[in-house]
Chains A and B, each alone.
Chain A
Amino acid sequence: MAGVSRRRFLIGAGLGSLALASSPLLAGKMATPGDAPQLRPIPSTGEPLPAIGMGTWITFNVGSDQRLIEQRTRVLETFLELGGAVIDCSPMYGSSADVVGAALETLDAHDRVFAASKIWTGDGSKTREQAASSAGRWGIPRFDLLQVHNLLSWQDHLATLKDMKARGEVRYLGITTSHGRRHDELARVIETEDLDFVQLTYNVLDREADKRLLPLAQERGVAVIVNRPFQGGSLFRRFQTEPLPGWAAEAGIGTWAAFFLKFIISHPAVTCAIPATTRIEHMRENMGAMYGPLPDAGQRRRMAEYVRQL
């Protein structure tokens, strides 16, 4: 893979050309020709990131099944075509890292992604080793972002990640949690450590982070990646048969996927949401949320109230 500047150029060039190219791909969504993708700056550097990324938990764990690897490659291809860049993975996700690596290889797309993985080991001395192993599986020399997974041995890992960042072995560092767990401890880490990113669960039903973590991250200049934007898919199971509210179109919302994702990325503290999918049509729907208008604060309140009533 070429250096960072080449990658940033490729991501930027891809996004620039998308304003025109994407509209037919997003047919049926609320985007209109000329809409530009929603970008968010990483607070610590100002580098812009597309506001919808891609998760790989479960969806990319297909082992050595060539047919499914090929199919997931097409999902990733669609993601990139529609302006996506951030891919989130972890050594905890079984074969997902190998499948992402195989897909990137097929698409020759190592330079077009913002590669985010995690450190997931209780052994605080294994940070570098695990980072190198994950990078090898992705087929990249280094990650853009490494996050301590679920705060596991975070003190040791964070110390090493800081050293790696200083040496240019990784560009950004962060820490993750999910399902609303250990928010107090995460708040202390955000307050006391120099983080580039935090990753946490936030969606139209799980809004615990609204109270403290999101305002704190904003105040401390920490980028926020939102995991489980669909509550692992259960938001669709609960609400998909219900009608969208009549006023949804005003907020640029034409599908439930856009409803859930626009609710998240319209929060001023949020940098990027990372929905996961196995299906090309779902990827199209999800990426559609990155185009067109976003709900304002008042509309966001109505969205939360609407699903609460259903």
Chain B
Amino acid sequence: MSGASWLSYSLQDFVMFGPEVLLRLFIRINEAVWPWQSLWLVAGLLLPWLGCKVAEWPRRLAMALAGLAWIGCGYLFMVRYYGPVNTPATWFGWAFVIEGLLLLMLRGRALPIPLGLPLAVAGWLVILVLPWLAVLQSGDVRALALFGMAPGVTVAATVLLFARQPLLLRWFLLLVPLAWSLFSALTYWSLGTYWLLGFPLATLFLLVVALRVSPSPVQSRGLQSVRPDPERRLP
């Protein structure tokens, strides 16, 4: 196709479903897993708390929970529900599953440095406040976008842990979240579902904040490094 021909396409030409279908995904997923989403809510609330701990095993557990959340959300929400109406969502869904498996595999090798209280509070806000964006957008309380099921909240909550990884691993783990944030932002924008833009924006905001308190490059050299930076005050 010629360059001029590409220029005749707009963002809307690539979105093959309507806002109603997207918002119904949140409702349908909640109906499908009811009442088990309460377990995910508890897991989501545990995540920042575990990520704060200085002892190793809670942070390993946090990574494992993050991995399970990515797998659950990737397979159920993205591949099973979103994929049939939006082909790229299937590809992202499988990328989420692979990311989740990676997190489970790396659980014992790569530990995030402890989150610190401000980041933990940010994490709790993500788990408790961000889900309401889908409710605001749809006007339906059943559309609550919960951790472990809806991609926006899952990504925003776990990105905190990724930002606290050693340098190389950190950027490797952030590839999928960043690509998803960009993709979902473009989708929400072209569908006019502006409240949902809060998901990718919150992810980026948290990432920037978390990176500002992330380990120094010296620490990040080895994947195993979990030594707290003496210059940083950690809880």
Interface residues of A (CB under 8 A from B): 57-59, 61-65, 67-68, 92-95, 179-182, 232, 278
Contact = CB atoms under 8 A, between A and B. Distances in A.
Given A58-B15, A61-B16, A95-B85, 7 more contacts: A58-B16, A62-B17, A63-B21, A93-B16, A94-B17, A179-B13, A182-B5
B84 A181 contact: no
B18 A94 contact: no
A9 to B, nearest CB: 35
Contacts of A68: 20-21, 24
Nearest to B5: A181
B188 interface: no
Nearest to B86: A94
17 contacts: A57-B16, A58-B17, A61-B17, A61-B85, A63-B17, A63-B21, A63-B81, A63-B82, A63-B84, A63-B85, A65-B28, A68-B21, A94-B16, A94-B17, A94-B84, A181-B8, A232-B12
Interface string B147-159: 0000000000000
Interface of B: 5, 8-9, 12-13, 15-18, 20-21, 24, 28, 81-82, 84-87
Contact of A61 (B5, B9, B21): B21
Contacts of A179: 8-9, 13
Nearest to A98: B84
**What 9 pairs across the A-B complex have the smallest Cβ distances?**
A63-B84, A63-B85, A95-B84, A61-B17, A94-B16, A94-B85, A61-B85, A62-B21, A65-B24
Contacts of A181: 5, 8
Contacts of A232: 12
Given A63-B81, A65-B28, A278 B18 contact: yes
A280 to B, nearest CB: 14
Main secondary structure of the interface of A (DSSP, over half): loop
B85 A180 contact: no
Contacts of B81: 63-64
Contacts, number: 49
A58 B28 CA distance: 19
A306 to B, nearest CB: 26
Nearest to A180: B8
Nearest to B85: A63
Contacts of A93: 16
Contacts of A64: 81, 84
Contacts of A57: 16
A58 B84 contact: no
Contacts of A62: 17, 21, 85
A63 B12 CA distance: 19
Nearest to A278: B18
A58 B16 CA distance: 5
B90 to A, nearest CB: 11
Nearest to B81: A63
A58 B21 CA distance: 10
Contacts of A58: 15-18
Given A61-B17, A63-B81, A94 B87 contact: yes
Contacts of A278: 18, 20
A269 B218 CA distance: 72
Interface centre among B28, B84, B86 (most CB of A within 10 A): B84
Contacts of A63: 17, 21, 81-82, 84-85
A57 B22 CA distance: 15
Contacts of B17: 58, 61-63, 94
A202 to B, nearest CB: 16
Nearest to A93: B16
Contacts of A95: 84-85
B98 to A, nearest CB: 23
A63 B20 CA distance: 12
